[in-house]
Amino acid sequence: MSFVKCEQQGAVAILTIDRPEALNALNTQVLCDLDAAIDQVEQADDVRVVVLTGAGRSFVAGADIAEMKGFAAVDGKKFGVRGGSVFLRLENLSKPVIAAVNGFALGGGCELAMACDIRIASEKAKFGQPETGLGITPGFGGTQRLPRIVGVSKAMELILTGKVISAAEAKDIGLVSEVYPPEVLMEKAMELANAICANAPIAVAESKRCIRMGMQTDIATGCAFEAEAFGVTCGTQDKNEGMGAFLEKRAEKHFKNK
């Protein structure tokens, strides 16, 4: 992987988009590398949470305009399908993904952050979908995820105007959950990741699955998913451990992902 670094701290995998000379812009190779990194963390049994960030002063400044400039219609569709499929894989990863947005998250970068489960940002971060000003639409899920996250009216405003917003405004509209000084962003991301790691992995994965599936369906169907997941977790050793610790009034728990 030329443009995505993967390191592990305890049960947390840190994926860093590493193309700082291009502000981490997404080209075909970066998407291939990200796809390979998703494979790697999905198959790693000792990884429970993923933190995704960018090298240098940008999270991801967008898709690579230099590559897209020569696209015909068929090329654009192929690129959109490729990026969209990678982002869907990230969204549907069984392990929670935290976006630590350290700088520019524009276009494809904003779309990448939205494919993550939780977004936290540096005070220096900037968000936006400026594609209409370039004569194109968002191509990696922006028209679908942004309305689901911030509501239709605000998504329409941001996409149709191409407006770029600050981290503070992103928090106000619910695009990110927390904003931190740049120097503590990764520390806070790791605190959040480790708090998730402290819980039962199967319960975490099933909870994520229920939320993701439920957001795409009616509440009755969503509640049916939840009941199924509740049943699955009730049959695990980790349920016995967690409830045993509660009843025994002990803080220490030994979840085994079983």
Ranges of each domain in the chain: 4-197, 201-247
How far apart, in whole angstroms, are the C-alpha atoms of residue 46 and residue 94? 13
Domain 201-247: which CATH number of 2.130.10.10, 1.20.1580.10, 1.10.10.10, 1.10.12.10: 1.10.12.10
* CATH number for the domain formed by residue range(s) 4-197: 3.90.226.10
Mean pLDDT of the chain: 96
User: What are the catalytic residues?
Assistant: 111, 131
Q: pTM for this one?
A: 0.95
In the chain, pLDDT over 90 holds for what percent of residues?
Answer: 98
Residue range 133-150: average pLDDT?
97
pLDDT at 71: 94
Q: Residue 142's pLDDT band (boundaries 50, 70, 90)?
A: very high
What is the rounded average pLDDT of the residues 163-186?
A: 98
Using one digit for the tens of pLDDT, what is the confidence trace for 222-254? 999 999 999 999 999 999 999 999 999 998 899
- Looking at residue 1, its pLDDT comes to 75
30-85 tens-digit pLDDT:
999 999 999 999 999 999 999 999 999 999 999 999 999 999 999 999 999 999 99
